[in-house]
Amino acid sequence: MNSQQEYVLSAVEERDVRFIRLWFTDIAGQLKSVMMSPSEIEGAFEEGAGFDGSSIEGFSRISESDTLLLPDPSTFQVMPFDDDEPELRTARMFCDIVMPDGSPSMVDPRQILRRQVELAADQGLTCQVSPEIEFYIVNEEGFPYDLSPTDMGGYFDQAAHLRVPKFRRQAMRALESVGIATEFSHHETAPGQQEIDLRHADVLTIADHVMSFRYLIKSVAMQSGVRATFMPKPFREHAGSAMHTHLSLFEGETNAFHDPDDEFSLSGTAKRFIAGIMHHAHEITAVTNQWVNSYKRLQFGNEAPTAVTWGVSNRSALVRVPTYRLNKEASRRVEVRSPDSGINPYLGFAALLAAGLKGIEEGYELGEPAEDDVAALSHRERRAMGYRDLPGSLDEALRHLEQSEFMAEVLGEHVFEFFLRTKWEEWHRYTDQITPHEIRSTLEL
Residue-number span of the structural domain to which 32 is assigned: 3-104
93 and 134 together in one domain? no
Pairwise CA distance, residues 424 & 292, whole Å: 10
* Total structural domains within the chain: 2
Provide the whole-model pTM: 0.95
**What is the spatial distance between Cα 406 and Cα 411, in angstroms, rounded to a whole number?**
9
Calculate the alpha carbon distances from 230 to 169, 227, 278 in Å.
19, 10, 25
Same domain, 178 and 44: no
Of the candidates 49, 73, 104, which is a domain's last residue? Answer: 104
- Give domain status of residue 436, yes or no: no
Which of 104, 136, 155 terminates a domain? The answer is: 104
Domain assignment of residue 443, yes or no: no
100 and 220 fall within a common domain: no
* CATH number, domain with residue 62: 3.10.20.70
Bridge partners of 312, per DSSP, are 321
- pLDDT, tens digit (0-9, with 9 covering 90-100), for 385-428: 989 999 999 999 999 999 999 999 999 999 999 999 999 999 99
Q: How far apart are CA 298 and CA 396, in angstroms?
A: 13
Establish if 330 belongs to a structural domain. yes
Pair 359, 268: CB distance under 8 Å: no
In a domain, residue 80? The reply is yes
- Is 311 in the same domain as 388? yes
Q: What is the pLDDT of residue 62?
A: 38
Taking the C-alpha atoms of residue 216 and residue 135, their distance in angstroms, rounded to an integer, is 13
Domain contains 442:
no
Pair (306, 192) in one structural domain? yes
Same-domain pairing of 182 and 67: no
Longest Cα–Cα distance in the chain: 74
Same domain, 133 and 56: no
d(CA 305, CA 315): 8
120 and 100 within one domain: no
Residue 302 has what pLDDT? 75
CA distance 209 to 316: 27
Is there a single domain that holds both residue 187 and residue 60? Answer: no
What DSSP line would sit under 352-416, residue for residue? HHHHHHHHHHHTPPP-PPP-S-GGGS-HHHHHHTTPPBPPSSHHHHHHHHHT-HHHHHHH-HHHH
pLDDT for the residue numbered 59: 62
pLDDT of residue 53: 64
Q: Residues 60, 142: one domain?
A: no
At residue 161, the pLDDT reads 64
Asked whether residue 441 is assigned to any structural domain, the reply reads: no
Pick out the chain residues at pLDDT < 70. Answer: 52-65, 159-161
- Domain end (from 104, 133, 158): 104
* Alpha carbon distance 303, 317 (integer Å): 9
Residues 22 and 160 occupy one common structural domain = no
The reply to whether 302 and 353 lie within a common domain is: yes
Q: How many CB atoms lie within 10 A of CB 140?
A: 13
The CATH number of residue 349's host domain is: 3.30.590.10
Q: Tell me whether residue 309 is in a domain.
A: yes
